[in-house]
Chain A
Amino acid sequence: MDIIVCIKQVPDTTEVKIDPVTNTLIRQGVPSIVNPFDKNALEAALQLKEQHGGKVTVLSMGPPQAKDALKECLAMGADEAVLMSDRAFGGADTLATSRTLAAGIRKLGHYDLLICGKQAIDGDTAQVGPEIAEALDIPQVTYAAKLEISGDSKVRIEREHEEGYEVVETTLPLMVTVVKSINEPRLPTVKGTMKANRKEIPMLTAADIDVDLDSIGLKGSPTQVHRIFTPKQRVQGQLIQADSPREAVAQLMNKLAEAKLI
Chain B
Amino acid sequence: MQFQLSEEQKMVQKMVRDFATKEVAKGLAERDEHEVFSRELTNQMGELGLMGICFPEEYGGADGDVLSYILAIEELSKVDDGLGITLSASVSLCAWPIFAYGNDAQKKKYLLDLVEGTKLGAFGLTEPNAGTDAASQQTVAVLEGDHYVLNGSKIFITNAGEAETYIVFAMTDKSKGTKGISAFIVEKDTPGFTFGKKEHKLGINTSITMELIFQDVKVPKENMLGKEGDGFKIAMSTLDGGRIGVAAQALGIAQAALDHAVKYSKERTQFGKPIAVNQAIGFMLADMATKVDAARLLIYRAAWLKDQGQPYSKEAAMAKMYASDIAMEVTVDAVQIFGGYGYTREYPVERLMRNAKITQIYEGTNQVQRMVISGAVLK
Contact = CB atoms under 8 A, between A and B. Distances in A.
Give yes or no for direct A-B contact (beta carbon below 8 Å): yes
Interface of A: 71-72, 75, 187-194, 196-198
B11 A191 contact: no
A194 B23 contact: no
Interface stretch (B46-54, B102-110, B159-167): B46-54
Contact of B53 (A71, A75, A190): A190
Contacts of A191: 49, 52, 62
Contact of B62 (A71, A187, A190): A190
B64 A194 contact: yes
Contacts of A197: 7-8, 11
A194 B19 contact: no
Which of A190, A194, A198 neighbours the largest number of chain B CB atoms within 10 Å of its CB? A190
A190 B8 contact: no
Contact of A194 (B14, B48, B62): B62
Which of A188, A193, A197 neighbours the largest number of chain B CB atoms within 10 Å of its CB? A193
B19 A71 contact: no
A190 B49 contact: yes
A259 to B, nearest CB: 27
B22 interface: yes
B311 to A, nearest CB: 27
A194 B22 contact: no
Nearest 4 interchain pairs by C-beta = A190-B49, A189-B49, A190-B62, A191-B62
Contacts of B14: 72
B327 interface: no
A190 B45 CA distance: 10
Q: Is the interface of A mostly helix, strand, loop or mixed?
A: helix
Interface residues of B, number: 21
Interface string B11-47: 1101100110011000000000000000000000001
B114 to A, nearest CB: 15
B54 to A, nearest CB: 10
A199 to B, nearest CB: 12
Contacts of A71: 11
7 contacts: A71-B11, A188-B48, A190-B12, A190-B62, A191-B62, A193-B11, A193-B15
Contacts of A190: 12, 15, 48-50, 52-53, 62, 64, 68, 72
B12 A193 contact: yes
Contacts of B47: 189
Contacts of B50: 190
B63 interface: yes
Interface string B63-94: 11000100010000000000000000000000
A75 B15 contact: yes
Nearest to A68: B11
A17 B220 CA distance: 63
A19 to B, nearest CB: 14
A194 B18 contact: no
A197 B14 CA distance: 13
